[in-house]
A and B are shown apart, each in its own frame.
Chain A
């Protein structure tokens, strides 16, 4: 449908031109020059923005960028647009082998299709933001872009396909499932080991930036006979492997059972196509049973031994200690952020930036970039708290988002705030990895690291007993939320298997909750528009509320990145 619509559009329409645009603009200035001037300097107030009119339907592209007032527009243009484009080039030039970028673009579909739309990804996530919320959220985005470039340039520098042979860099690298935390490899980082989360860039990051890329990989694995019903994230990860689209960057791999049956099965299929020494490092399912902790720790030690044997890089306690302490500092700041989010209206990070940044950095492990960016965000946040700045002034409901989010529409919460005043304060995956690592003794460190990994995303709440998934009620109270956005990942067996109990509990507790059906990376199953329609339906029919920005109620962005 969307494709047909595009064919029928004239070139001018495709470029965003609408008849009468100029006339309307002149009329707007002529009617009330004072107001127009005010809008130019400060930006329009929320209810008059009509952000939906900016879209070229069904592409989701903008006819023109949003005017956010003089200060914020200049900030956006200079510090977000220009700066990030510049840094995307600088990051590549400062990598180990900069020219590999062009080989990578040519060889790997996931890179070729996602590098260009990066700034559109910023636009989608930061739409409608003003002041400190715009600034702090954008710094989180910047951190993710930097880490992504660093990561894929490392992969390319080691890639046997490009080097033609095994190199020293290749030998000192270990691949691991993206669900294995980078913290496992801290003991080897100062010894020159590089750990690469196998699927994080080719799959996870690309889905957010360009939702079309991953569809090819899902189709690929299904052509081999995999049914369409297993978790599409795992399908896509397996599909990247089947298409031989993982760079050959390391001699060995560490896999994990996180977070579900399909993850285990994906690890198994990875064994067949990667065909190299593999260490399976499963975490216990009933993870808060005291009996399982020792075994969990022994598995981590087993992984360390495996890495030593395969790469020749020795275990270093000092290295572990150093990075674990840095990670703890980062976690302390995360908790400060939660505290501000929970107790005040001064939290300057929007729902999507909070969710993506948190899962990204905690899975990746400590990195200098995070430290630098956190210091900038801290300044912004402290300023908001000191001056009591209401960062999301149009908040009608404080929302907690529960279960796993749609990767192709992680910015739904930006839309929900702009359209309905739904402020997603916190989400389930941000609350994972909430564990300090003691570094006074090896035993304490190992014990805490075991726990840390047991509390991984998509896992800590989803396995090990229903009481974990029902921690929602405690977090709702803690974050002072009055509404739940319940993600309904249609192919997640763990969440589907407990759906009715949530319904019962919502009714019993009198909680307003809307379900948000999706298929993780696969936008074909539930489109973005269907997601929005579901939320709007709830807000109109159940909550009997009027939209803040009616132009966002109905628009088609089916073909967007």
Chain B
């Protein structure tokens, strides 16, 4: 089924619109893409329903700091909450006012509409204010989730990456995730079970990273939009059901031929705050920039790094260390970490052969308001990377202004490249 909610994206997939004169789409359709799009239209999608019917417990979460791997222990599966096809969150705006991040409000609205009734539990983190408030509403308003056994449990996440913080984080995961899952849902939380979950998590991470590697090619054989679909279904669907499909996609990708003449004008890294909307990535690509790397909440970098269990570590030690050390979240306050974040972005530009960075920030996200401002300044000044800095809403509605910004950015980067080629300036 081709979803009808977004005419632009369907047309683009069918190669009808947004082609420059004399060009055509040569890359054949990638396997499972339409299925993935369908799955992303609902939080309570077909695979979630199937897993529930098979007796598994659905565990919601919103943030990378709630380790996905621990929510995929035997008997349960993780669903990173999204509110696709959100319109105006009117009821949520009563509870959370119109001056908070729309991601939090859209989730609240979806919960009020009954869209998260399939959840058995919400594993919450107080990592950014508004998602925290949304999750507190799940605690305060038991009628919000139509499931008498539903519960919401919070974990405290540190602001640093030192040994103290790792131990702190580990204690929290043990107490507020594992013990709770065991006590309330009867989940096996033994070291062996966590090790097995890590293996399975690593497998899905490997597959996604392998798919993502094709973005590093001089002429990438996967678009940013297609990759975003793969990454998002892995977050929104039970792993054991989505993994075979992702493997098929990977196999298909191995033989996919790129366009002889690329249909993009520049390559960019997309970084920033929460973005679970593949059509936002597509919007950028429609303007002529290929998104080759995704460093944002819900993105794969560095979220799809493999978890390594080092000698002498328990499985939980490894999980705590991995999620804290690998995160590039803006809430880390140590001086060297703050500065390293810029270097990480600059390295992504090199590694993925990008021409620039687009820094996006969800309106009302305070962390990224500041980080975007600093990135815009520092990446340009210290690393010489062209930066396009934009503010966006959760729903991808008013795209006209953004399209103009992206087009102008692409032209400026092209111009710069031309000048460099000609030795001007």
Which residues from chain A sit less than 8 Å from chain B, CB to CB? Answer: 224-227, 229-231, 234, 238, 255, 257, 260-262, 264-269, 271-272, 277-278, 280, 282, 284-286, 289, 291-292, 294-295, 298-299, 302, 463-466, 490-491, 493-494, 496-501, 503
- Asked if A496 and B371 make an inter-chain contact with CB atoms under 8 angstroms apart, the answer reads no
Smallest CB separation, A130 vs chain B (Å): 40
Interface residues of chain B: helix, strand, loop or mixed (majority): helix
Which among B78-86, B259-267, B332-340 touches the partner chain? B332-340
Which residues from chain B sit less than 8 Å from chain A, CB to CB? Answer: 94-97, 99-101, 104, 126, 128-130, 132-134, 136-137, 139-140, 154-160, 164-165, 167-168, 171-172, 175, 330-331, 333-335, 338-339, 361, 363-367, 369-374, 376-378, 389, 391
Cα–Cα, bound, A463→B331 (Å) = 15
Which chain B positions have C-beta within 8 A of A499?
Answer: 95-97
Smallest CB separation, A259 vs chain B (Å): 10
Which chain B positions have C-beta within 8 A of A238?
Answer: 370
- Name the residue among B95, B100, B167, B333 with the largest chain A CB count within 10 angstroms: B333
Which chain A positions have C-beta within 8 A of B100?
Answer: 493, 496-497
Q: Which of B128, B139, B160, B168 contacts A292 (CB 8 A)?
A: B168
Cα–Cα, bound, A413→B172 (Å) = 43
Smallest CB separation, B400 vs chain A (Å): 19
Which chain A positions have C-beta within 8 A of B367?
Answer: 261, 264-265
Cα–Cα, bound, A289→B128 (Å) = 18
Cα–Cα, bound, A264→B374 (Å) = 14
Q: Which of A231, A285, A493, A501 contacts B137 (CB 8 A)?
A: A501
Which chain B positions have C-beta within 8 A of A493?
Answer: 99-101, 129-130, 133, 364, 366
Can you name 16 A-B pairs with beta carbons within 8 Å?
A: A225-B376, A225-B377, A226-B370, A231-B366, A257-B333, A282-B333, A284-B156, A289-B175, A291-B156, A291-B171, A299-B160, A493-B99, A493-B129, A496-B99, A497-B130, A497-B134
- Asked if A295 and B165 make an inter-chain contact with CB atoms under 8 angstroms apart, the answer reads yes
Cα–Cα, bound, A278→B335 (Å) = 6
- Name the residue among B158, B363, B369, B376 with the largest chain A CB count within 10 angstroms: B369
Which chain B positions have C-beta within 8 A of A289?
Answer: 156, 172, 175
A299-B164, A466-B136 known; 16 new pairs, CB 8 Å cut-off, are A227-B391, A261-B365, A261-B367, A265-B366, A265-B370, A280-B160, A284-B168, A285-B157, A286-B154, A292-B172, A490-B99, A493-B99, A496-B96, A496-B99, A497-B130, A500-B96
Which chain A positions have C-beta within 8 A of B175?
Answer: 289, 291
- Name the residue among B136, B171, B334, B335 with the largest chain A CB count within 10 angstroms: B335
Q: Which of B167, B172, B338 contacts A271 (CB 8 A)?
A: B338
**Closest partner residue, chain A, to B377 (CB atom):** A224
- Supposing A268-B370, A271-B335, A282-B333 touch, asked if A465 and B364 sit within 8 A by C-beta, the answer is no
Cα–Cα, bound, A269→B175 (Å) = 34
- Asked if B126 and A463 make an inter-chain contact with CB atoms under 8 angstroms apart, the answer reads yes
Cα–Cα, bound, A102→B338 (Å) = 37
- Asked if B172 and A291 make an inter-chain contact with CB atoms under 8 angstroms apart, the answer reads yes
Smallest CB separation, B360 vs chain A (Å): 13
Which chain B positions have C-beta within 8 A of A227?
Answer: 361, 363, 369, 391
- Asked if B128 and A261 make an inter-chain contact with CB atoms under 8 angstroms apart, the answer reads yes
- Name the residue among A260, A269, A302 with the largest chain B CB count within 10 angstroms: A269
- Name the residue among A231, A261, A292, A295 with the largest chain B CB count within 10 angstroms: A261
- Asked if A230 and B156 make an inter-chain contact with CB atoms under 8 angstroms apart, the answer reads no
- Name the residue among B129, B156, B389 with the largest chain A CB count within 10 angstroms: B129
**Closest partner residue, chain A, to B125 (CB atom):** A285
Which chain A positions have C-beta within 8 A of B333?
Answer: 255, 257, 264, 267-268, 280, 282
- Asked if A262 and B165 make an inter-chain contact with CB atoms under 8 angstroms apart, the answer reads no
**Closest partner residue, chain B, to A275 (CB atom):** B335
- Asked if B126 and A464 make an inter-chain contact with CB atoms under 8 angstroms apart, the answer reads yes
**Closest partner residue, chain B, to A269 (CB atom):** B370
Cα–Cα, bound, A27→B296 (Å) = 74
Q: Which of B133, B159, B171, B339 contacts A497 (CB 8 A)?
A: B133
- Asked if A498 and B136 make an inter-chain contact with CB atoms under 8 angstroms apart, the answer reads yes
- Name the residue among A277, A466, A497, A501 with the largest chain B CB count within 10 angstroms: A497
Which chain A positions have C-beta within 8 A of B339?
Answer: 271
- Supposing A272-B374, A285-B126 touch, asked if A465 and B167 sit within 8 A by C-beta, the answer is no
